[in-house]
Chains A and B, each alone.
Chain A
Amino acid sequence: MENEGIAGIVVNAIKFCDFHHFDYRYLKEHAGVPALMIEHELEVNSEGQLMTRLEAFFEGLKKNAGIKAKAGSGKYFVGLDSGSHATKLVCIDGNKNIVARHIVPTGTSVKRSVGEVLKELEGAGIARKDVKRIVATGYGRNNVEGADEIITEISCHAAGAYHLLGKPATVIDIGGQDSKAIKIGEDGTVRSFAMNDKCAAGTGRFLEVMAAKMDVGLDEFAKLAMRARNTVPVSSMCSVFAESEVISLVAAGASKDEIAKGIHSAIAERTVSLARRINGAPPYYMAGGVAKNKCLVSELKRCLNSDIEVVEEPQFTGALGAALFALKG
């Protein structure tokens, strides 16, 4: 490794070939360079997650990495976070002041949702020619036409959170498709990160499926949970198993409030294990739209035994980070 000037190690393990994970544990501790563990099943099933992990790892190895293009001549800088659930845009000026932010549902087309959110920006009086650079992030980042640079949501959430907090922190983001814990260093860069496994366990999607099973919207679901005096434990974390468990709990006469609380509690426990994997420490900051769910934040606080900071409109944290990268150039 020394002879070849290796900057980082990627350990690629085949699912169920457990021995390689132990190699990773050793390398992470003793190799002296950053290491990343990825899993394969001899075919690519979750390309989006895999690419986010790899790109975020490479971004950590080489600062300012990404796809660069010719910059525009305007005075504004735009971050576009194309998430699985919603597309968010933040526009800042040269002094890092937020001048506009917009959010639209992503739906089935990244192209259409990005078009819509840029149209809203134009409606707010900022034309494309006024924008000097656009940085795209989120799951749809590689499909954002006209982006000057593409950076993962791991780096963008870290940059956005660091800007808002002004100090190192552990960021928790529960997204639609995945959840992440990100440790930010003194200089505002990503020190380490962990993402959930490929299934929906512990993600916003899990919350959606469970809310739908109980025939309520997401907001109402959180309110139900907040009302609960007790918790009915929901032990399954697989969304399919949990669905059937919820059905039998309802059939057994458990109250909807308490089941909802149990589901929130299960997600919080799952998420906290990600934070522990990266040796997360206070202050904790929660990014993403799920941070608006007061019950989940409260359950996370309980599990972490620590306070969690949530800013106003936390769903824009990633887009803000992207805009800051656009400004950095």
Chain B
Amino acid sequence: MRAKKYVAKKLYRSVSKGGLTFHGASRLFRMCDAYFSRKKSPAARCGNRALLKYISEATSSEVKGAWTSILFPAEILHTFDIHPITLEVMSGMFSSIGLSPMFLGMAEEMDVPPAMCSFHRMLMGISKSGILGTPAVVGSTSLLCDGNLKTFAEAAKEQRVPFIFIDIPYEESADGIDYVKGQLKDAMKALSEATGVKGYTERLRRMLENANRAFAALRRFYDLYCVNRKNLFRAHEVANFAFPNHFLLGRKELVRMVERRCRGVRSDTKRDRFFSEMYTGEKVRRLMWLHIVPQYDTPIWKIIDNGGTSRVVCDEYSTVLYDDYDLSDPLGSIAARLIKHPSNGPLERRIEHIVKVARDFNVEGMIHYSSWGCHQASGNVSILGRELEAAGFKFLNINGDAADQRNSSFEQHRTRLEAFLESYGQK
């Protein structure tokens, strides 16, 4: 981890001084990643490589890029050959290599409120830093985070590029779908004008076909991973699968990436060397992670995801599955998918999803992570905890900051997590 952070800092300095482009630095980093990821399983290494390759491509000056929020419908961007970069993902990546204080410092200089979610504050710093160049467009939805509207709108203003905002209603009704469909139509028109690409219907259909293949692969992976005991991925890596599952939607890379994960579960024989055994013990405490995971290296995983005494076997966001798109109504299908996301609408929908996943994965306990400044997390957690306990699951909430380690106390987390595990009693 030290070597990784050292290289990342050196590369960042070089980029900020103009010696390297971000594209060039990410290519170099990708080469070094073979060493940094040497302890990971082959399936995890493949995923890493594909992800870094995409980010490197998406930041090339020869490619049109877009900055988007996590659940922005990437299919419509890929239709125009625009490569979306999810800024929350970049915040997470920079956090994982120890650069979050730098970007958070920049956000502070810009008077971005310090009580705001660190992912969104960081993205303001990333935008200001100019490290990613200038996107062709900035887009966000109202899904998941209330910080999306202000921060992405500000980033678009700062970069002087068009801003596409898609407001997602709560209810899955015909009116709701029409409302989103109308916004998607406007977005397609704006993207067509920005890129000069006309007659995009056939391109969109191809993206949706790819998305359907990815949905099918994701369903296969879900079924395989429910009963998987191989220690191929660490819990926070699986939770972070949620990111490419969205920003690569419509591209063949996602299908290949998910199929490689499936192959790993079926036939790989090498574990992630963080775990001492190839297989998780049958009597470990099976846990589910709710909400986002810390993006930086933290010792909490040794306590709860060690494969010997306990294992986080699933999480809330990477397990979201979708129905196949109806190719006769592409924009209507995308609209329905966005509205139906479990994080949208009444809390019952989210609880229903969590309970289903927990039962499919045979989970006993859940850990919810309230990240600093995330109003949705801290606002819902008491109801969520009550309802999930009523459904028969043990529940623990911990407060921290998933992007800025300085706002988290490992010692406090350790006490809570160990006490939570002790409360199970002897098995």
Contact = CB atoms under 8 A, between A and B. Distances in A.
Given A18-B150, A19-B150, A37-B111, A276 B105 contact: yes
A28 B113 CA distance: 14
B115 A16 contact: yes
A15 B113 CA distance: 9
Contact of B111 (A19, A25, A240): A25
A238 interface: yes
Interface stretch (B204-212, B251-259, B328-336, B400-408): B400-408
Interface stretch (A169-177, A244-252, A318-326): A244-252
Contacts of A37: 111
Contact-residue size bin, chain A (C-beta under 8 Å from the other chain): 20 to 34
A130 interface: no
A236 B405 CA distance: 7
A93 interface: no
A119 interface: no
B108 A247 contact: no
B172 interface: no
A273 B406 CA distance: 15
B112 interface: yes
Given A15-B115, A25-B110, A236-B406, A269 B105 contact: yes
Interface in B104-123: 105-106, 108-116
Contacts of B150: 18-19, 22
B409 A236 contact: yes
A277 B109 contact: yes
Contact of B409 (A16, A19, A244): A244
Interface residues of B, number: 25
Interface in A143-168: none
B154 interface: yes
Contacts of B108: 273, 276-277
B276 interface: no
26 contacts: A15-B115, A18-B113, A18-B115, A18-B116, A18-B147, A18-B150, A21-B116, A22-B154, A25-B111, A25-B154, A28-B111, A37-B111, A197-B114, A236-B406, A236-B408, A238-B407, A241-B407, A241-B412, A244-B409, A244-B411, A248-B410, A248-B411, A266-B406, A269-B101, A273-B108, A276-B108
Interface of A: 13, 15-16, 18-19, 21-22, 24-25, 28, 37, 197, 235-238, 240-241, 244-245, 247-248, 266, 269, 272-273, 276-277, 279
